[in-house]
Amino acid sequence: MDFEELQELIRLFESTELSEIEVEEDGRRIRLAKQPITENHVVPAREGATARSTAKPAPTLDAETEALLAEGLVTVDSPMVGTFYTASGPSAPPFVQVGDTVDANQVICIVEAMKIMNEVVCKVPAIVERILVRNGEPVEYGQPLIAVRPLA
């Protein structure tokens, strides 16, 4: 199993309600496990009580992200839940700094998930305007990591 197949397996696993999966191929075994999700039990409302909607509100952009978009910036978002890193190692220089010009598909940071370092690339040629997350911070799927100003 190559790196891309492993990444796809992780994405598929995270998108399911499975708590554990194990795959063996060519004598190599990979086991993925999630912490158990606690169940929420719904208690029926008393008669005459007002009903509340259980639907989650539509995701909204936070004020900082809206301000960035209003300035014409584009955010490079986290492709998964993990830990954000600005460099390939503790003593390595950062991939990018504010003011750097980056090419399309250039690695600009890493998100580590399950001990796998996943490179995050900029999709368009751009100038790095802001780094929105501190090195070593946990990040969520879809969380803006770096704001860039597209050159095209």
pLDDT confidence of residue 47: 53
Residue 79 resides in a domain: yes
Spatial separation of the C-alpha atoms in residues 40 and 56, rounded to whole Å: 14
pLDDT confidence of residue 116: 85
CATH number, domain containing residue 89 = 2.40.50.100
Does residue 74 sit in the same domain as residue 141? yes
Does residue 100 sit in the same domain as residue 26? no
Residue 58 resides in a domain: no
Does residue 76 sit in the same domain as residue 16? no
What b/e sequence results for 50-84 when a residue is b if at least 16 CB atoms lie within 10 Å of its CB, and e otherwise? eeeeeeeeeeeeeeebeebeeeebbbbbbbbebeb
Residue 131 resides in a domain: yes
Counting as low any pLDDT under 50, the low residues of the chain are 37-43, 49-60
DSSP percent split of the chain into helix, strand, coil, nearest 5? 15, 35, 50
Does residue 130 sit in the same domain as residue 88? yes
What 3-state DSSP class applies to 12?
Answer: helix
The pTM is what?
A: 0.56
Could you tell me which of 120, 97, 99 has the C-alpha nearest to residue 109? 120
Residue 41 resides in a domain: no
Does residue 19 sit in the same domain as residue 79? no
Spatial separation of the C-alpha atoms in residues 130 and 100, rounded to whole Å: 10
Could you tell me which of 63, 71, 82, 70 has the C-alpha nearest to residue 145? 82
Does residue 29 sit in the same domain as residue 68? no
Amino acid symbol at 2 = D
Residue 43 resides in a domain: no
Does residue 123 sit in the same domain as residue 68? yes
Q: Please name the residue that has the structure tokens 């300035």.
A: 71
Does residue 70 sit in the same domain as residue 14? no
What 3-state DSSP class applies to 68?
Answer: helix
Does residue 75 sit in the same domain as residue 121? yes
Range of the domain at 17: 3-33
pLDDT confidence of residue 67: 65
Does residue 81 sit in the same domain as residue 26? no
pLDDT confidence of residue 97: 92
The number of domains in the chain is 2
Residue 102 resides in a domain: yes
pLDDT confidence of residue 72: 77
